[in-house]
Amino acid sequence: MLGFAMKSVTQLVMGSTFEDEHEVIHFQKNHGTPVLINIAALMQLESILKKIIKERKGRNFSERIFIDSLVQGNLNDQQILEDSMIFSLASCIITAKLCTWAICFLTTCEEVQKKLYEEIDQVFGKGPITPEKIEELRYCRQVLCETVRTAKLTPVSARLQDIEGKIDKFIIPRETLVLYALGVVLQDPSTWPSPYKYEISVVVFVVIDFYVFDPERFDDESVMKTFSLLGFSGTQECPELRFAYMVATVLLSVLVRRLHLLPVEGQVVETKYELVTSSKEEAWITVSKRY
């Protein structure tokens, strides 16, 4: 999934530089995981981006990439470089983990997978996957939102306080760095009904802490609004997560249309909480053809 995510991200940000899969594999080996990227790898990435920024400035290309949007925003070269690097590194790990957890949860939830398949089949049929059609995949979006919630994909977030705030008798001065314990909020029973319910049907594959995976909770617009206020949806959604949603939607649309996603009997998936939540060891699935 990390290789798949890196291929998606590098082509979006850097265009044809990474069309060759061997280049992507080489890039991945040099950089390891984005969380553990080393100084030499950062310098290499910076060098590649500087070259591409110089090539794209003042020219029109038939294929639009992420850097083009930054260039047209009248940003200086340093800002374009920094934004491109942050987007590249963050998008890789968030996309990879979102795709991984979504597939893991689908293997444990036969009814969810069936409903997702029916929606994908109804929207696309045997036709191609297009951006316009993707907008119609409401249930798929709910599956991804529930994946973010259940896996606690980003357990901690931070934001500078724009204005002076107050909680009870405590004053939060302007420009204070406020940490959000999203991992706690996303499992708060007062906001998310039945977040801890144990289901015997999934004993062959342990769902994180036995949380209920229920995409239909996002049918309620008020629930989606709560999610939006946390920065996972709507206008406050970070660009890396928005990109990850799109890539994961394409991935699921391709896989679920062709394959049944099944668990590995006896496999236990333990969670490791970092900047982005991952499994302690690689998670495996089995598949069978739909047709």
Extract long-range pairs of 176-185: CB within 8 Å, 24+ residues apart: 180/156, 180/230, 181/155, 181/156, 182/152, 182/154, 182/155, 182/156, 182/157, 182/230, 183/152, 183/155, 183/156, 183/273, 183/277, 185/230
238 annotated as ligand-binding: yes
Q: Please check whether residue 53 lies inside any domain of the structure.
A: no
Q: Assign 284 to helix, strand or coil.
A: coil
Angle at 29 between CA 25 and CA 32, to 5 degrees: 125
Which pLDDT score, from 0 to 100, does residue 235 have?
57
Domain assignment of residue 266, given as a range: 105-289
Ranking 28-42, 116-130, 158-172 by mean pLDDT, the lowest is 28-42
Alpha-carbon distance of 213 to 231, in angstroms, equals 20
Note whether residue 161 is domain-resident: yes
Q: Is residue 69 part of a domain?
A: no
Report the domain count for the chain: 1
Structure tokens at 250: 């394409």
Residue 92 lies in a domain: no
pLDDT surpassing 60 at residue 200: no
pLDDT tens digits, 51-92: 999 988 888 888 889 999 898 887 899 999 999 988 888 898
Buried-exposed string 75-97: b where 16+ CB fall within 10 A, e elsewhere: eeeeebbebbbebbbbbbbbbbb
Q: Average pLDDT, stretch 24-45?
A: 68
Whether 100 is in a domain gets the answer no
H-helix or E-strand spanning residue 105? helix 77-108
Report yes or no on 52 lying in a domain.
Answer: no
Per-residue pLDDT averaged across 203-230, rounded?
72
CATH number at 259 reads: 1.10.630.10
Query: In this structure, is residue 56 part of a structural domain?
Result: no
How far apart, in whole angstroms, are the C-alpha atoms of residue 37 and residue 32?
Answer: 6
Mean pLDDT of the chain: 85
Q: Does 124 map to a domain?
A: yes
